[in-house]
Amino acid sequence: MIASAPVNVPTLTAPIDEPVAGNYFVAAYPPFSAWDSAQVPALHEALAQPAPAAPLGLYVHLPFCQKKCDYCYYLSYIAQPAAVVDRYLDAVVREMELYAAQPGVKGRPVSFAYFGGGTPSTLSSAQVRRLGDGLRRALAWDNVKEVTFECAPRSVRHEFLESLREVGVTRVSMGVQSFDNELLKLNGRVHLAEDVSRAYSMIREVDFGWVNLDLMCGLLGETEEKWRESIRRIIELEPDSVTIYQTEIPHNTQLYRDLTSGALPALPLSWDIKRARLDQGFRELERAGYTVVSAYNAVKDPQRHRFLYQDYLWRGADMLGLGVAAFGYFGGVHFQNQATIKHYEAAVEQGKLPVTRAFKLSIHDQLVREFILQLKLGEVPIAPFQERFGLNIVVQFYATLRMFANEGWITVSDEAVRLTRRGLLRVDRLLPRFYDSRFQDVRYT
């Protein structure tokens, strides 16, 4: 199909830019730098419309940590007193109540929820129940299909896990990153490999039905032997799914500061090496019976373990971002909350939604957004886009698809656009080539 299209497009001559530092993963389109305060009214307009039939999800940001990892760029606060955390949780519940009163949200059931951080598992059992009960009072989620809660190995406790079950958590995701203690210490993690074994045993005892474990390839100081051992250990534990991220060095991290100051104890690995190790990890997981279902995930049972937070959101679902600096998407509008707890709580206390910037997507922007995000799944069917937008994505993105097909990164049939394994391993570096010209080569954040 791609070869017979009536357009002459040369092969890719300019290399795909791969800087050592900066954001690598594409989480949103258009880039965050295009969002601004002038477009916040567009969110209020969307919320004022009658409730649509689209699935509704929640992302709840819990920004408290014992220690910030060297590679982490998420907003977090270290070792806060219980009173500070309680006040913040009350503000999150109040924010949910403000949304629940909006015509576009009122009465809609919650389909999926994700509690991320920070380190959500630093909350106490009482705080988890305080938050969960408050959110459920604001919106019905009796029939919620998926509730994910992030955990860190050292902060997992049995009574805490029981409280997660009580509030409806169905999926626990634990950040392992590596099974090598030297690597963990070098990259600023607070846990050790033995903490992973202890925490994982407790999680399995409670039986959530789905346990995901995260790994990172390309950590500072990683060798091929250490990476192979981490893959071997993760397979030995037999989690329901494994998520693998290639280590990036965003500008607002300790890792970047050490890089620019010359204080790094080891050089960052090249993207070619990280891709090779990701491929190696995927192949070992496939040999162990897992199926690779995206650029980051391998699962034991693709039918049973569909990551709805990802699948729904990447196909246009609404998601309310709750908490300081949280991101959301509603009615075709991206938005982000205030970036400090002080300003976030102040807005909520005044009965105002704490949104600080937004971007209203045109119908064309929505098509681009959904196409590039779904490419991370490795395959994008053509028919749903034709039905939803009235456009053929192959015609829409022909020039770029042709270039990538010539490089062996993509194939196109009458049914779907598919990434080859080589393309899947580098998908986040390919996605910006599909951006509209006004968003090409702009600052990402």
**Residue at 146 is within a domain:** yes
Number of domains into which the chain is organized: 2
- Shared domain for 301 and 175, answered yes or no, is yes
**Residue at 224 is within a domain:** yes
- Shared domain for 92 and 109, answered yes or no, is yes
Cα gap 204→102, rounded to integer Å: 39
Q: Among 405, 395, 393, 413, which Cα is nearest to 430's? A: 405
Of the residues 274, 295, 312, which one is the last residue of a structural domain?
A: 312
Q: What is the pLDDT of residue 7?
A: 34
Sign, CA dihedral 62-64-66-71, equals positive
**Residue at 8 is within a domain:** yes
- Shared domain for 377 and 275, answered yes or no, is no
Q: What is the pLDDT of residue 16?
A: 66
- Shared domain for 274 and 380, answered yes or no, is no
Q: What is the pLDDT of residue 128?
A: 97
SS3 167: coil
The first and second tokens of residue 54, run together, are: 């689209």
365 and 333 Cβ atoms separated by less than 8 Å: no
Output 82-90 pairs: Cβ under 8 A, ≥24 positions apart. 82/124, 82/127, 84/341, 85/123, 85/127, 86/127, 86/130, 87/345, 88/63, 88/323, 88/324, 88/341, 88/345, 89/123, 89/127, 89/130, 89/131, 89/134, 90/130, 90/134
Q: Among 120, 142, 145, which Cα is nearest to 310's? A: 145
- Shared domain for 142 and 226, answered yes or no, is yes
The first and second tokens of residue 126, run together, are: 């009482």
**Residue at 268 is within a domain:** yes
**Residue at 134 is within a domain:** yes
**Residue at 291 is within a domain:** yes
CB atoms < 10 A from the CB of 381, how many?
13
| Confidence (pTM) | 0.94
Name the residue type at position 413. Answer: S
- Shared domain for 295 and 423, answered yes or no, is no
**Residue at 334 is within a domain:** no
**Residue at 229 is within a domain:** yes
- Shared domain for 135 and 163, answered yes or no, is yes
H runs (alpha helix) in 316-362: 341-349
- Domain of residue 174: give its range: 35-312
- Shared domain for 401 and 254, answered yes or no, is no
Q: What is the pLDDT of residue 301?
A: 97
- Shared domain for 7 and 74, answered yes or no, is no
Mean pLDDT per segment of 10 residues, for the chain of length 445 residues?
A: 40 60 88 96 97 94 87 79 95 98 95 94 96 94 93 95 95 97 93 96 93 96 97 98 94 85 86 97 98 98 95 97 98 97 97 98 98 98 97 96 97 97 97 93 77
- Shared domain for 63 and 4, answered yes or no, is no
- Shared domain for 273 and 384, answered yes or no, is no
H runs (alpha helix) in 314-362: 341-349
Give the CATH number, domain containing residue 220: 3.80.30.20
Give the CATH number, domain containing residue 407: 1.10.10.920
- What is 290-302 written as a DSSP string? -EE-SSSEEES-T
397 and 410 Cβ atoms separated by less than 8 Å: no
Distance of CA 352 to the CA centre of its chain: 27
Q: What is the pLDDT of residue 17?
A: 66
